[in-house]
Structure 1
Amino acid sequence: MFLPPQALQWVMGDLEVRLVSGGEVRRLPFADAVAAAGNNWRLVLPVEAVTACAVRLPTQKARWLRQALPFAVEELLAEDVDGLHLAVGEPLEDGRHRVLAVRRAWLASWIDLAAASGTSPASLQVDADLLPLEGTRLFWLDGRWLLGGEGVSRLSVQDEDWSMLREACPHPWIGQASADRRSLEGIEHWEGVQDSHVDLARWQGTELAQGDFEVRQPNRQWALWRPALGLVGLWAVLQCGFYLAQGWHLRHQGDAYAQANEALYRELFPQDTRLVNLRAQFDQHLADGNRPGQGKLLETLGQASGALLEDGAVVRIQQLDFSETRGDLALQVQAPGFDALERLRERLIGAGLAVQMGSASREGDSVSARLVIGG
């Protein structure tokens, strides 16, 4: 997109500009041209907005160059360097570098207007600086000659100016214009044009998008890998969530078993009022079963404990009686319903125990029955 020289006077969305796209040129208001340009477009500034000079850079390190550059060029510029944006160009044959200076506030105004109209430019360049670096080039565009080439100067000139400037310009002198505009004296070689803006847009110049105006382009490799990395990240989050949920479930289940074991232990050994280590205390009771009858009791309890705990301790033991003579264990149990008692009886039988169930009776919301195990 080419800004005309009038852009120096007005920063307006309805200023007519030239938009080059697909080998064609359209004249559009700036705001409409931005909307039509897409996401990756170049803003070409008129050379009238730019001052060109050449200096020897005090350092090549980018970190220090931005700080040292204003001091290197301030004596070559007529304006206060603090209000200028400086862009370093290509090196010259004598070791100096071309530097382009443009008013910072003016450039920022056009970029802000572009952003408000749709998108900011991806590149900032100058029309006269687009000319090939070969001798002195003069290119007719928008009613004036652009002067560029391998020399330092980047200017906008009229026919009468050329006679005063040409002796300071390096050879060869090459002009590019339509046949009816080839009026400059001393031009050594003329080249034709199909369309001035299209021809000029084929070339590249110094990038002004440096420092504060640098355009942060997204990393294309990162853009290609982003969907895959997103899926990996999502999988990792889901996996972590699964492990956390599984850990919570197992911990909750373990707490439920621990509470059920403690409840059963207190029912079997009500004389133990203090529980420190349930496993150790139960093992101690087993070790204390030195009498044949007591050993038989603990053996029967060990076989029946799994069946009693399988339903999450919904069946509670109200009374326990053991007959050493008969070798059976009588339990007075309480359950939520008859079905819970029947499931308990089936589990005890499945554990290899002889089970006899007495008559069951309803007591409020629960059912009581007497079970005789073994014998």
Structure 2
Amino acid sequence: MSRHYLFLLAQGMPAAGLQWPVLLYTAQGEQCRTTLGALPTWLAGAAVVLVLPMEMAGCCKLDPVPGRRPTRESLAYAAEEQLAEALETLHLAFGPPDAGGYRQVVTVALEEYRHLMSMLQAQGIDPVAVHVDADLLGTEEACALWFEGRWLLGGADGTRLAVSERQAHVLSRRLAPRLWLAEPGSPGEALSDKHVASAVGRLVDGGGTAVDLRQGPMRRQRSSPPWQALGGGMLAALLLVCLADYLRADWLQQQASLQHAENVQMFARWAPGQVPGADLAAQVQALEQRPGPPTAVERLAMFADPLAGVGNVTIEHAEAKTSEGWTIDVVAQGFDDLERLRQRAPGVRMGHARQVGEGVRATISWLEAE
């Protein structure tokens, strides 16, 4: 992630307001000077590292504290006797233990720190980290850096100070030997023993080992991870799918009910008198397989058996009448043949008969047995 470094300059401390002068060092290596209340709008939501002047902070070395992972409370109580102010008025930040178990402790006034953070957050800036400039000199070697009109002392010996040029001349003879760094042509060049191309670039490079003040009650409130938003979206989508399935099932059930009602009406017209059952398809199939009423030809064929037994009788014309049965014109060789037919076929009544050249022509009626 590309980070922009926002340095609060020490000369703005007395006012500590929106006119506080700042030095902005962008992720592209560009520098610009402005005030705390006139920061570029594009910093809102960007990854900003806030750097406080050492003059705002205190620093001490904490002896090893018993326990594998001591709590913040136990670390604070262990550091209390080294602090000049009450714990309630301070925000404490602890570095990781070194090889000997010692920790770097950085303190800032709690109310002043909260006020500063509220001014930044009002502009949409929520720093990803907060450091102190003297703590950005790293831990590899004891050194000093000329930065913004004063010397920053830090490095491996645990010293964290910001002093004037005159004070630096005194301390250079009393402190352990250290590397004095300054940009060419700067006022600190007279005391330096090595040049750096960019003092602010040197501080940015040392951020990996600096104590981050965004911890404990002042830690950054991270936004919800993307998967939570994705999970919410998936849940909403799942609910929509379930709702769509429910509505479709309800619609299909309504259509099925309408179709069943239409089928019952069609069944009543097709098979009057039949009571529709639960399985109309099976009921229709059973009714189709049931033998239907005999046709007129089939019913007349029933008359053929007694007629064949008599012999010598021929049907010339037959007519079925709904209530009166059949009226049949026959031709027989004699009257005795007609008598035998009457005896063999119950329901036969003889009508008028007359003698003709080919035999006897008669009209009979036949009522089918129920």
TM-score range for the pair, normalised by the shorter chain length: 0.5 to 0.7
Residue segments in structure 1 that go unaligned for 5+ positions in a row: 295-322, 327-375
After superposition, residues 10-159 of structure 1 pair within 5 angstroms as 10-21=15-26, 22-38=28-44, 39-55=46-62, 56-61=64-69, 65-159=71-165
Residues 266 and 68 of structure 1: CA distance in aligned 2, closer, same or farther (over 3 Å): farther
Which residue of the partner structure matches residue 161 of structure 1?
167
2: distance between equivalents of 1:36 and 1:202?
A: 23
Partner deviation per Cα, 1:274-330 (whole Å, 9 max, x = no partner): x9xx5399999x99xxx9889xxxxxxxxxxxxxxxxxxxxxxxxxxxx9x99xxxx
Which residue of the partner structure matches residue 243 of structure 1?
245
Residues 81 and 68 of structure 1: CA distance in aligned 2, closer, same or farther (over 3 Å): same
Partner deviation per Cα, 1:118-154 (whole Å, 9 max, x = no partner): 3221221111011132332111112211111012221
Residues 280 and 152 of structure 1: CA distance in aligned 2, closer, same or farther (over 3 Å): same
Which residue of the partner structure matches residue 181 of structure 1?
188
Work out which of the two has the higher radius of gyration on C-alpha atoms and give 1 or 2.
2
Partner deviation per Cα, 1:76-123 (whole Å, 9 max, x = no partner): 111111221111114345320111111122112111111112322122
Shift of 1:14: 2.7
Shift of 1:177: 4.4
Which residue of the partner structure matches residue 9 of structure 1?
14
2: distance between equivalents of 1:137 and 1:247?
A: 77
Residues 177 and 58 of structure 1: CA distance in aligned 2, closer, same or farther (over 3 Å): farther
Which residue of the partner structure matches residue 199 of structure 1?
202
Which residue of the partner structure matches residue 254 of structure 2?
252
Residues 213 and 228 of structure 1: CA distance in aligned 2, closer, same or farther (over 3 Å): closer
1: distance between equivalents of 2:272 and 2:61?
A: 99
Residues 283 and 96 of structure 1: CA distance in aligned 2, closer, same or farther (over 3 Å): same
- Aligned AA for 2:256? G
Q: CA contact under 8 A between 2:60 and 2:104: conserved in structure 1?
A: yes
Q: CA contact under 8 A between 2:182 and 2:188: conserved in structure 1?
A: no
Shift of 1:157: 1.2
Shift of 1:58: 3.9
2: distance between equivalents of 1:26 and 1:281?
A: 88
Q: CA contact under 8 A between 2:145 and 2:181: conserved in structure 1?
A: yes
Q: CA contact under 8 A between 2:97 and 2:103: conserved in structure 1?
A: yes
Residues 182 and 70 of structure 1: CA distance in aligned 2, closer, same or farther (over 3 Å): same
2: distance between equivalents of 1:175 and 1:245?
A: 75
Shift of 1:265: 8.9
Residues 141 and 97 of structure 1: CA distance in aligned 2, closer, same or farther (over 3 Å): same
1:209 partnered with 2:214:
yes
- Aligned AA for 1:57? V
- Aligned AA for 2:202? D
Residues 228 and 88 of structure 1: CA distance in aligned 2, closer, same or farther (over 3 Å): closer
Shift of 1:261: 6.6
CA RMSD of aligned residues (A): 4.2
- Aligned AA for 1:31? G
Q: TM-score w.r.t. structure 1 length? A: 0.62
Identity of aligned residues (%): 26
Residues 172 and 14 of structure 1: CA distance in aligned 2, closer, same or farther (over 3 Å): closer
Q: CA contact under 8 A between 1:136 and 1:150: conserved in structure 2?
A: yes
Partner deviation per Cα, 1:169-196 (whole Å, 9 max, x = no partner): 4444443344542444xxxx72213333
Partner deviation per Cα, 1:235-259 (whole Å, 9 max, x = no partner): 6455434322221112222333455
Residue segments in structure 2 that go unaligned for 5+ positions in a row: 1-5, 294-321, 326-370
